[in-house]
Structure 1
Amino acid sequence: MALALSEADKARLAGADGPGAAAAMRIVADAARLLGAEALTPVTSAHIDGCLYHGDAGTEFAEFLVAKGAKVAVPSTLNVGALDLMRPGNVHLPPHRREMALRLMRAYEALGCRSTWTCAPYQAGHRPALGDQVAWGESNAVAFCNSVLGARTNRYGDYLDIACAIAGVAPLTGLHLTENRRARIVLTTEAISDRLKHEDAFWPVIGAIVGRRAGTGVVAVDGLQGAATEDRLKSLGASAASFGAVGLFHVVGETPEAPTLEAVLQGEAPDEVIALTPADIADALALLSTATGDEVTAIGIGSPHLSMAEFEALLAALGGRKVRLPFYANTGRHVVAALEAKGLLATLDAAGITIIADTCIVTTRIITEPGGVLLTNSGKFAHYAPGNIGYDVLYGSLSDCVESAVAGTLTRDLTLWQ
């Protein structure tokens, strides 16, 4: 069927809102046709991933939209950029890349987007309501938006995300539709100990399983009732979206569309039921580490960006001690402001923690030493660090990260996984 456009869509396409909005509308309409959508849906917000510099063409595209008078039509937050605007010395880019990265960030601000510069906009007050149609980019943000908030978005990439934000509409297909939000794979966790389920480090591991088993599919995880927190669900979704292409997962009894398993199955039988075993957890845990031996070059946490609660856990684990290894804590500027208001920034600085805001260590040049081993409690860092910054990774708990940093050598409590 042909794509049906509303009168408002047709007017915008014809230039009623200016040439910038018309260009964005053409992109959205053409994408909708390619995706087989029959209509467009109005969206209430957007989160933009295209603001991260990957090359000059991205900067030129954003500046083209600005020059054509485009503005976002809905509230829109910005994902990480390639610069730490709060502490510029943290990033080591050559002059041309630094200039183009800054021009890109400023162009997105000129388009009317909020200068959040975080991969966790849901922690910065951007929280659409259950059932809202939105257009979000950034894989973990998409998974959180769909799964934990119950809003509806596909995985919008560069530069369809900003086009949807300017046009105010998105292709009505994929996870925007109720029937496509049905769980088709069920993971059961009865064989996994309750003690492990209540450990933060467990959630990126099960996220990796979800990503590898589901790919782009929708999974329901059963048996985690009473163990979920928002930060744990954040970690699960980030890992699932990195090791697969998961845009929506359900945790039965915890996420808003999953009051029961029957509800997320929408009255149908699942395509597959997988009973997870301790051996499955061990295999996934091994998947999160590419290094062997006891070498640790640096510690990296905060992908997705650290929440205030996670900083409080970091401070508690440090217990006033100083680290002996480079320790990068990545977060959003909204959390930096909260830390400063509570007088905690000085404490973190005194402990030797390097706070990274507006960006993170695997998206731009912050770690300058070639090669090495990164110890992390982030499933997302574990997936991206080898390819993005050329570091092997070791996965561990927050406690493992802190104790290793304080000792200056790898210190891990593997009894957690037994």
Structure 2
Amino acid sequence: MLGGRDGAGVALAMRVIVGLARIAEAPRLVEITSAHVDSCLYHGQVSLDFAHRLVDLGAMVRVPTTLNVGSMDLLHPGLIRSSTSAERRIATGGRELMSAYVALGCTPTWTCAPYQLPDRPRFGEHVAWAESNAIVFANSVLGARTDRYGDFVDICAAITGRAPYAGLHTTEARRGTVVFDCRPLGDRFLRSELAYPLLGHHVGSLAGSEIPVLVGIPGDVGEDRLKAFGAAAASAGGVAMFHAVGVTPEAPAAVDQLPRYDVDLSTMRSTRQRLSTISSGGLDAISVGTPHASYDECVQLAELLRDGPRIVMPLYLSTGRATRAQAAESGVLGSLEAAGVTVVVDTCTYVTSILAPGVKNVMTNSGKWAHYAPGNINVDVVLGSLEECVASARAGRVVLDDGLFES
């Protein structure tokens, strides 16, 4: 492939993979079974130049390849603001870039949560996934093996079907390095939704790129909560894998020899305060579904909105196309839209110009959204549970229940 046997496009992609392998001092390459590409999110002309070069050289992916969010909601293009020249340039470039990746043979999934799709990788499979929350979920919850890949490397791995055998592809790099004892938090808190974005942000802030081991997580914790934890940990730090003892497939049985942190309720209370740039007062919008909401989360939101007063402010729910289709078939989508929810697909509200220009104060249930949105779209943010988000959407102001932080 490097020598041009399969065409110039494959040769270009293989030069990138071999170059990365040399930098990582990988002894060999490894065959991958799938890829997830983040390069389809528009970051300027260089994004288009690289994709068009691959297309012009005749490259095509050789493993099943899903696509991360883009810069457009292709099903609802009217949601994307285009009043300024910069917004129009991003919308035009974003649409063009998304088309280029489809031309390379990628599947137009447009979701940051590819693990919610049916054909997700099995335990031990080597994959090349980009998008930080997808990486940490694949490694930790599924037990698949991917390093933390970024733009351009991801599509090159998909075209060659290869990745460097280095980093989290190797067994020795997947061992836990630091323990977080969550037992002081108590069962009540650990069974709450709010625990996981807060715990993820706290762990990520301390762990950096280490591999944390969580002790005390309930054995029946669901994937949505592990998703929320991993996304927040990958945003606040460089966490690409975590272990939860008794929960995730590669968690160690013995952790006595590792450095240790104890986590208590006061720490979680201060973490919410640190993630929130406002704590009270009026709100302009609510944004949930980062990473993309699962079908179960769509159902939960519909149930919370079923009884009680109508919401008095914009409430945005970001999800994937496949989940939206499932919600449409079951009637959940109709219930959400009838309650006033704006369902966004193909992108996310913190990376695309969806919120109105006057929106300043926003509430979210996502640690990742709370971490990035103030810098990305210049808003103030408050983090709450989905139930708190609905209560606030009805009241038009911040409604929080701090009782969860009491022993």
Instruction: Determine the C-alpha separation between the residues in 2 that align with 1:361 and 1:225.
Output: 31
| Structure 1 ranges of 4+ moved more than 4 A | none
Query: Is 1:60 the equivalent of 2:46?
Result: no
Partner of 1:339: 327
Q: Give the alignment of 1:49-128 within 5 angstroms.
A: 49-93=38-82, 94-128=87-121
Counterpart AA for 2:314:
P
Query: Is 1:246 the equivalent of 2:234?
Result: no
- 1:261 partner SS: coil
- 1:192 partner SS: helix
Q: Deviations along 1:33-86, whole A, 9 cap, x unmatched? A: 112222111111100000001111101210110110001111110000000011
Pick the aligned partner of 1:293 from 263, 280, 295.
280
Tell whether the 8 Å contact from 2:136 to 2:240 is kept in structure 1 after alignment.
Answer: yes
Query: Is 1:138 the equivalent of 2:131?
Result: yes
Tell whether the 8 Å contact from 1:80 to 1:358 is kept in structure 2 after alignment.
Answer: yes
Counterpart AA for 1:288:
L
1:227 offset after TM fit, Å? 4.6
Pick the aligned partner of 2:253 from 261, 279, 284.
261
With normalisation by structure 1, the TM-score equals 0.94
Counterpart AA for 1:25:
M
Instruction: Determine the C-alpha separation between the residues in 1 that align with 2:91 and 2:239.
Output: 32
Query: Is 1:411 the equivalent of 2:395?
Result: no
Instruction: Determine the C-alpha separation between the residues in 1 that align with 2:332 and 2:224.
Output: 20
Tell whether the 8 Å contact from 1:220 to 1:261 is kept in structure 2 after alignment.
Answer: no
Partner of 1:178: 171
Partner of 1:45: 34
Instruction: Determine the C-alpha separation between the residues in 2 that align with 1:203 and 1:292.
Output: 19
Counterpart AA for 1:242:
S
Instruction: Determine the C-alpha separation between the residues in 1 that align with 2:93 and 2:185.
Output: 49
Instruction: Determine the C-alpha separation between the residues in 1 that align with 2:273 and 2:147.
Output: 30
Q: Extract unaligned runs of 5+ from structure 1.
A: 1-11
CA RMSD of aligned residues (A): 1.3
Partner of 1:234: 227
Instruction: Determine the C-alpha separation between the residues in 2 that align with 1:205 and 1:293.
Output: 18
Pick the aligned partner of 2:311 from 323, 340, 351.
323
Counterpart AA for 2:273:
A
Tell whether the 8 Å contact from 2:299 to 2:332 is kept in structure 1 after alignment.
Answer: no
Q: Give the alignment of 1:261-410 within 5 angstroms.
A: 261-262=253-254, 269-270=257-258, 272-320=259-307, 321-370=309-358, 372-410=360-398
Instruction: Determine the C-alpha separation between the residues in 2 that align with 1:351 and 1:279.
Output: 36
Over the matched positions of the two proteins, sequence identity in percent amounts to 45
Tell whether the 8 Å contact from 1:371 to 1:390 is kept in structure 2 after alignment.
Answer: no
Tell whether the 8 Å contact from 1:81 to 1:359 is kept in structure 2 after alignment.
Answer: yes
Count of matched residue positions in the alignment of Structure 1 and Structure 2: 401
Counterpart AA for 2:285:
A
Tell whether the 8 Å contact from 1:222 to 1:261 is kept in structure 2 after alignment.
Answer: no
- 2:185 partner SS: coil
